[in-house]
Structure 1
Amino acid sequence: MENTEPKRYRFTGHERVIHNVSAIEALPDVLTLFGYHRVFVVCSRSIRTKTAFIDRLQARLGEMIVGLTDEVGEHSPLSNVLRAARQARHARADVIVSVGGGSVMDMCKAMQLCISENAYDRESLLKLQFVLSADGTEMLTTSQAPATIRQIAIPTTLATSEWTPVSTPIDDETRLKARFVVPDGSPVAVLYDPDLLRQTPVRLLWSTGIRGVDHAINTACSSSPHPFASLLAERAIALYVQNLPKLGDASATEAFTQCQLATWYTGMGQMSVPHGFSHWMVHIIGPYGGIAHSDAACVLMLAQSKWLEGWIKPQHERLAAAIGQPGMPFHAILHDLLVRLGMPTTLDDLGLTRAQVDAMIGPALEHPMVTRNNVRPITTEADLRAILELAWRA
């Protein structure tokens, strides 16, 4: 029977994506293209202190850099967001340049919201959290202000934050994730620099790459899939699986380039379809358990694949074929990849206790997305405990 369900594709506002380039060489031309003159740089502490990249960037841009901060932190706490937004406003910056991973890019998106909405305190900012569409499948902004500043992203990890307008900084007071959809929050330009990527610790590349795999799987196995998004996701998963293990060899230049291409494919589709449990449960395990999103994604991605076995057989079969392992159970393919990379496969591997996970059940059930849009329903406490039980064993 023909599927007549309407399909929605969401463009997320990028105007330039430059792949396989030296970011320092390319950035001045990109700034000129968009007419930017006053740059506020947000970077990770490790990029600033453990590489020469920021020193080289400052030498190249000179007085165009009007401010810089490396005070980001794990999950980009709201206090850091608000402080940096005030600094960027005071510096009269006309663009934010991010150099780092998901926390850095998330922080920049939230800074944009602060500046556009003139919201420089916690209470004002938290009023701007997203709402869901009537059918519960799409996140919608509550901000009414046009974007007054944009971001140019130079990613140093592989989890695809540069591809969405969504920002989820952690609230210092509650330890819960705030949830924003920022108007024009996706970077106006993305510069993919494989040489810079090679300076990221390989263990971080592997874990954030798995988070990218998780995003792509949720796109391909969505409760409301889109054919274009699924096609991109299948290709992304194949590229990740083929190339992530090669990142242990810093001389494998092409593998770094291909992994950045995989994030591009993943990102182009992930905002167009609803994602399920593994995408959202990291927002509970992360702040409650003090676990990096990407590490949590390894375990939850594997548990979700087991939970869905038999429910989405055609999708899993297509993914196994795309990876080049037709006939193999999809969860077994993922498990083998995680073991090969030395990534966690169980909640125990994350250092969590049963008591800690029990304390996460309530917040997970209250979260607006964890129990929505799952092909195999996860709506009750029993459902949630059942899938988490799968996460206790490899």
Structure 2
Amino acid sequence: METVEQKPGRYRFTGHERVLHNVSAPDALPGVLSLLGYSRVFIVCSRSIHTKTSFIDQLKARLGDQIVGLTDDVGEHSPLSNVLKAARAARDARADVLLSVGGGSVMDMCKAMQLCISEGAYDRESMLALQFVLSEDGTEMLTTSHAPAAIRQIAIPTTLATSEWTPVSTPVDDETRLKARFVVPDGSPQAILYDPVLLQQTPTRLLMSTGIRGLDHAINTACSSATHPFASLLAEKAIQLYMQNLPKLRDTRQRDPFTQCQLATWYTGMGQMSVPHGFSHWMVHIAGPYGGIAHSDAACVLMLAQAKWLEGTATLQHDRLRAALGQPGRPFHDILRDLLVELGMPTTLGDLGLTRARVESMIGPALEHPMVTRNNLRPITAEADLRAVLELAWQ
């Protein structure tokens, strides 16, 4: 089968200065703030963390009047209106650092808030004018903002989808329901605190589905149209850790699987920005807002469809992954399906509650998206290709 020509490798550092693994975040955070010179903290957190756990109260007890503001008004896919409102609040509070406590929507919101504050862009039109552009070869997303970062983020992740490892933010535009696309200068968190005890408080199904989204990132890295040896090595190890430990997350008495899954996000994140990702990564950005479903649930189905699409094309890559998982000779999509079934995750578009008509409405936006039809190891360039791979997602 025809494949995309392999391109020269590159590695991209994404600007993290500190990563603390297997720590108590409330205990470690004061030292990190002191080390980085921050004293006015604006917290952005999920509503569930704020109202259903004692974690924010623990931070308040530790930080006291260093906390100058808080919002839990994030919303699914972090709507741009919420971003703008929170950015104005952080500006008015004279915050010198954003602290995210939550999953991808929370961390993405902080990145977009950072862009608002750095650019002084506090309205929809000003923000949308800052969306990324593509490099000449179409493989890399480039920022259109050149303002120095006026504020940074420290992240305490509560899910496993690896948003803490990228400078990319994709809040949904309230008016069009399409994802806005920003690459934020210094947008990757300055520090990450991985707290497995906090992770254990995340609902198990959400944790497993976001782990699948992280796994999808790792697979896209290993099966990229322009692989990098370091990124592939990290991705293969991440895939092993996800596959081994995601099923163990049902037992919250065991701390180690949670720690290992956070390590998997680290391995994944260290490589994923260095290579272009394919269909399953980007189609999630269409299926999520258009289908009214969570990114991570969509990732389960699209990851599996992509593996079927690449069968016979990504043979060398799949062979390496099959060997790493101790299952040589099996179709890679069968290995993934077994994991999804074991976790109770969706495997088809029908499982997501989508109809044929709803999926049909996604065809046009997917073809117009700058990345869905680019950088696929087995090309997806025409409408017929897109329909063919989506048909695999019904099976």
Q: Which residue of 2 aligns with 1:157?
A: 159
Q: Give 4+ residue runs of structure 1 displaced > 6 Å after superposition.
A: none
Q: Which residue of 2 aligns with 1:256?
A: 258
**Correspondences of 1:378-393 after superposition (within 5 Å):** 378-393=380-395
CA gap 1:85/1:286 in 2 versus in 1, 3 angstroms: same
Q: Which residue of 2 aligns with 1:85?
A: 87
Q: Secondary structure at the match of 1:190?
A: strand
The reply to whether residue 330 of structure 1 matches residue 332 of structure 2 is: yes
Q: Secondary structure at the match of 2:350?
A: coil
Distance 2:217 2:6 in 1: 26
Q: Secondary structure at the match of 1:98?
A: strand
CA gap 1:4/1:286 in 2 versus in 1, 3 angstroms: closer
Q: Secondary structure at the match of 1:153?
A: strand
2:123 to 110, 121, 124: 121
**Correspondences of 1:293-312 after superposition (within 5 Å):** 293-312=295-314
User: Structure 1 residue 6: deviation in Å?
Assistant: 3.2
CA contact (8 A) 2:6 2:226 kept: no
Amino acid at match of 2:308: K
Distance 2:234 2:295 in 1: 23
The reply to whether residue 363 of structure 1 matches residue 379 of structure 2 is: no
Q: How many residues align?
A: 391
Amino acid at match of 2:246: L
2:288 to 286, 289, 292: 286
Distance 1:329 1:49 in 2: 44
Distance 2:155 2:269 in 1: 14
Distance 2:261 2:380 in 1: 32
CA contact (8 A) 2:103 2:157 kept: yes
CA contact (8 A) 2:169 2:181 kept: yes
Q: Which residue of 2 aligns with 1:198?
A: 200
Identify the structure with bigger relative contact order (alpha carbons < 8 Å, sequence gap 6+).
2
User: Structure 1 residue 4: deviation in Å?
Assistant: 9.8
Distance 1:381 1:312 in 2: 22
User: Structure 1 residue 73: deviation in Å?
Assistant: 0.3
Amino acid at match of 1:219: T
Q: Secondary structure at the match of 1:278?
A: helix
Amino acid at match of 2:351: D
CA contact (8 A) 2:16 2:188 kept: yes
Deviation string, structure 1 residues 226-266 (Cα, Å, up to 9, x no partner): 00000000000000000000000001110000000000000
Counting aligned pairs with the same residue, the percent is 82
Distance 2:190 2:359 in 1: 39
**Normalised by the size of structure 1, how large is the TM-score?**
0.98
Distance 1:198 1:303 in 2: 30
Amino acid at match of 2:146: Q
**Correspondences of 1:209-358 after superposition (within 5 Å):** 209-358=211-360
**Correspondences of 1:63-74 after superposition (within 5 Å):** 63-74=65-76
Distance 1:202 1:60 in 2: 28
Structure 2 gaps of 5+ residues are: none
Structure 1 gaps of 5+ residues are: none
Deviation string, structure 1 residues 152-207 (Cα, Å, up to 9, x no partner): 00000000000000000000000000000000000000000000000000000000
User: Structure 1 residue 5: deviation in Å?
Assistant: 5.4
User: Structure 1 residue 313: deviation in Å?
Assistant: 0.4
Q: Which residue of 2 aligns with 1:62?
A: 64
Q: Which residue of 2 aligns with 1:184?
A: 186
Q: Secondary structure at the match of 2:39?
A: coil
Deviation string, structure 1 residues 42-68 (Cα, Å, up to 9, x no partner): 000000011000011111100000000
Amino acid at match of 1:83: K
Q: Secondary structure at the match of 1:349?
A: helix
CA gap 1:359/1:152 in 2 versus in 1, 3 angstroms: same
RMSD over equivalenced CA pairs, Å? 0.9
Distance 2:312 2:131 in 1: 36
Q: Secondary structure at the match of 1:59?
A: helix
Q: Secondary structure at the match of 2:100?
A: strand
Distance 1:153 1:22 in 2: 13
Distance 1:292 1:325 in 2: 30
Q: Which residue of 1 aligns with 2:379?
A: 377
**Correspondences of 1:19-38 after superposition (within 5 Å):** 19-38=21-40
